[in-house]
Amino acid sequence: MRLSHLKLVQHEAEFPTGHREGYSGYQQEMHALRENFYAQFLKTHNPKQPSVNEVIAAFGDLPPEELTHAYDIPEDVLEQMGRTVQRKYIVHFKNIRRSWANLIQYMPELMAEGAAPQDVLEMSTAHGATLEILRLKGHRTVGNDYANFLGQYGEPDTRCRPANDVDLTGYTDSHGNVAGEFGGWPYQPIIDSLGLDVRLFDAGRTPYPFEGKRFDSVLCFDALEHYCHPGDWLKIIAEFTRLARKSILLITNPVQGHLVDDEGYMSAFYGFQQAMRSYNRNGFQCVYAGLNRNQLTVYKLMRVGG
């Protein structure tokens, strides 16, 4: 039976890790998965994309028990969020696991035990799990978000606009989300409950409201494709390099099926891939390019030359 947002949160409050045995049950399952995963993977002729749990088990580094709890959000607010927030994003520990898997793979310098505190900006924070993890690790975190408009119900489609075009400030979508205002931002109740610092501004319009070299690291997961057309993605990357002192981690979503036949879009997308693989601009160089969900969508840039 499909559970409502309220029932999902109530279920998580009773079983924070999804296990009736609690955190110890989660630990046991992950230990068994770690022991069996490699043999199973090697026997598979067509290896599948590792799941979030398989990634975490492979590293043997689990999210701590203190991050296993349901969101503390009033019932009436949860019912309202059921109209604007996807169900998968209302389960706290699932959000934590997805973010944890990305961070332990690609940002070990932030996740290492005893790592020096850093200033981190995450673009398109949504539920805030990445900021929550990094705050627990002792880092100083700031998030960003903005209402996404994807061409539904006659709304603007930010995926196809040029960068720095179409100012959507004040625009209200079909769900009542108001661009640039916290009152209409669907994830506000989650962010408020966690006490995170999130700033609302349109990431498809530069410059962002921060001084240069404000952050050690800039992170952007599954969001760049919502900011503007891929022909202008490098303009967004240039803004990331303006803000970062040390590193930039970018993970884009795979190209959606309906865009695969759009020659202009795909040509720009492939051009971006090539440019990122050989990126050496503004004091930053690409040190990693990798697959995620079977497409080249992961890039890490590091500052070179001091």
Q: Which residues pair with 144 in a beta bridge?
A: 199
| Contact call for residues 97 and 64 (beta carbons, < 8 A) | no
Residue 292 has pLDDT above 70, yes or no: yes
More reliable by pLDDT, 280 or 152: 280
pLDDT at 172: 67
Residue 139 has pLDDT above 60, yes or no: yes
Angle at 210 between CA 215 and CA 127, to 5 degrees: 70
Q: 60 pLDDT band (50/70/90 cuts)?
A: very high
pLDDT at 158: 81
Q: Angle formed by the axes of helices 52-59 and 22-43, to 10°?
A: 90
Total residue count of the chain as it appears in this document: 306
Q: 155 pLDDT band (50/70/90 cuts)?
A: low
Q: 61 pLDDT band (50/70/90 cuts)?
A: very high
Number of Cβ within 10 Å of residue 36's Cβ equals 12
Which pTM was predicted? Answer: 0.89
Q: 206-240: per-residue pLDDT in tens?
A: 999 999 999 999 999 999 999 999 999 999 999 99
Domain segments of the chain as ranges: 147-184+201-306
| Contact call for residues 204 and 164 (beta carbons, < 8 A) | yes
| Contact call for residues 187 and 132 (beta carbons, < 8 A) | no
